[in-house]
Structure 1
Amino acid sequence: MTEQVQIKAQADNRKRNLILGIIFDLVGYASYGVPLVAEITDVIWAPIAGFILSRMYKGAVGRVGGVLEFVEELIPGTDFIPTFTLTWIYTYLIKKEK
């Protein structure tokens, strides 16, 4: 691949991960809409969200993010934390600066 094609592919992945991350965070928030049902949906959503996040980001970031997402979805009252979006910020803004 030429360097320009590789840069465009990286930019496309960044954009895709941000859009998907926001969507998946909103899915996690959606459980707040129905009291008592939220806990049941969180038990179902937690492993799915953890798996998705671990596949979206490679290496240690994906593994740690997936575990944190799984735990965050299982702990009542923590659905407001946008783990997918925070992982994107860490990966593409904070980690890049180091």
Structure 2
Amino acid sequence: MDELEQKFDKKRQFDLIASLAIDALGMATYILPALGETFDIVLAPVISALIYAVHRTTFGAAFGFLEEIIPFTDIIPTATILWVYRYVFKKKETLQAFMEKFNKKNKKTIIIPAK
């Protein structure tokens, strides 16, 4: 179980750093105020794809796309909010999905005891 916990913790940390970077990229358009909202048209599908790659949620990717495309909403840290939702509010479900993927990959069966 220790190996699994370490891998889950590394994934959780990686997802947080990736989420913060995605949100920083989305907010970077504020550096060039005149071009910022125009550049969001190009950046919206990129942000959406990155959110999907990290969080594997179509809803989150669509919301990230809309957040980028709608003017003056870049300040919303969509990827980080998704991270909080997955790793704080839905931690048990996220861990369970991680374990299933881990078990399938390593052909092991590890069960979390009910609390």
TM-score range, shorter chain: 0.7 to 0.9
- Segments of structure 2 that go 5 or more residues without pairing to the other structure are 94-115
Q: Is the 8 A contact 2:15 2:54 kept in 1?
A: yes
**Which deviates further from its counterpart, 76-85 or 49-58?**
49-58
Q: How many residues align?
A: 93
Higher RCO (C-alpha under 8 Å, 6+ residues apart): 1
Q: Compare 74-83 and 3-12 and name the one that shifted more.
A: 3-12
Map of 1:72 onto structure 2: 67
Aligned-residue Cα RMSD (Å) equals 1.4
Q: Deviations over 1:37-93 (max 9, x none)?
A: 1122211111011011111113xxx11110000000000010000001000000000
Q: Which runs of 5+ in 1 are unaligned?
A: none
How much has 1:96 moved relative to structure 2? 2.2
Match of 2:9 in 1: 11
SS at match of 1:36: helix
Preserved contact between residue 44 and residue 64 of structure 2 (Cα < 8 Å):
yes
Q: Considering only CA atoms, is the larger Rg found in Structure 1 or Structure 2? A: 2
The answer for the alignment partner of 2:39 in structure 1 is 41
Relative to the length of structure 1, the TM-score reads 0.88
TM-score (norm 2): 0.75
Q: 2:78 aligns with which of 77, 83, 94?
A: 83
Task: Give the Å deviation of 1:97.
Answer: 6.3
